[in-house]
Amino acid sequence: MRSLIYKIILNIKGENNMNTKIHPALVGSLTSTAPSEGIINFSPGPTSLPKDVEKKIAAIFNKGGLTSLALSHRSPEFLKILEHTIAITRKVMEIPDDYEVIFTHGGGHGQFAAVPLNLCHEKSDIATYIVNGTWSARGRDEAMKYCSVKTIDGRDMQTGNYTTFPKLNESDIDPESKYLYLCSNETVNGIELHRLPKLPESRKHVPLVVDASSDFTSKPIDWHGSGVGVLFACASKNIGHPGLTVAIVRRDLLGKDKASPLCPGVFNYTTNSEAGNLWNTPATFNIEVVGLLMDWLENKGGVAANECRSIDKANTLYDVIDNSKGFYGTPVNDKGLRSRMNIPFNIKGGDETLTNKFLVESWDLGMVGLRTLTPFGVGDYLRASLYNGVTLEETKKLADFMESFAKKNS
């Protein structure tokens, strides 16, 4: 971590200026000097929960007695929590009865391995990956260890950048594929599928696998219409805390003869489904938090109402960007593919001095997480992530600041 921070500081100030004090905002600090109640977390994840959910969690700890942090996962008290979380997740996301809700460890990266290990029995089995950004590329690269991968490349052939989603031609999807994989929201690249694609008629037998880590609960899912076989989401962006992943698996893909013999039990969908999510100790507290978040979503009108909120939040920032006369830029021109969850933007084409000034001034006002440390370095764009924990009012505060900053610095 220290070496990564060092590289970022070098990128910001240059090697000859290492004695210059670096403002915390420029190395990804989330601890603003603004009053704590005014902190707005725009991090790409982990991120904050809605305030009402945080209050519910606090109330659980304040009432005394054992909490889910200490409950045995086989106790009747925790089984009640688990049953509720699965039931309310099914209800809010309208998950059909022929799908299992499985809670797993390992985050999204764990699922990059779990998917091919569960759906490909042999190393020679074929899987097709749509690669239209950073995370689908990482998922594809991990799968290459366990199966024979074919790639539908979504890069712009002239620039080499990911700025769109490729058309799904019948000829590009091998009919022998055990699954077709996509990431529905590429957080780094700012590309989102607002609806999952429908496969060509001759390829409808191929199960769709969806990495929905950053957009789960932000829009409805047509489970059967899109032929979803597996959808997974790590909890730490929209539904909870790091350390838990939900995998929603169609039951016809389960079976003792389906997975690779190399698949570890902790990642095996069939093993964990048959054990009722209790094959090994699950993340008990995290599961309870997911249930509280789903309760909050239901009380707020369900997933359809949440999609409306997501649209309003995203439009609030994109309107500022599009009306800034070039002061702000965003990499995805196709408005039908712009992410509602993660809005990348630069300032004056990436002007370093203005970018640093923007980060410092916004951080001082309590708007944090617009630049965080990542495995990919600083990147060309800042990002405002608008997950469930960010309200429309908080988004408007950032929009107002962006407008004011542009007027002062144009």
* From 56, 135, 215, 313, active-site residue: 135
The answer to whether residue 237 is catalytic is yes
d(CA 352, CA 356): 6
d(CA 270, CA 276): 10
The answer to whether residue 135 is catalytic is yes
Joined together, the tokens standing for residue 153 give 């490349």
Half-sphere exposure in the Cβ direction for 310 (13 Å, CA): 26
What is the phi/psi pair of residue 234, to 5°?
A: -70, 150
| 136, 182 contact by CB (below 8 A) | yes
* From 56, 211, 215, 348, active-site residue: 211
* From 237, 296, 313, 363, active-site residue: 237
The answer to whether residue 380 is catalytic is no
Residue type, 7: K
**Residues with Cβ within 8 Å of residue 221, at least 6 apart in sequence:** 93, 94, 196, 212, 228, 231
Q: Which residues are catalytic?
A: 135, 211, 237
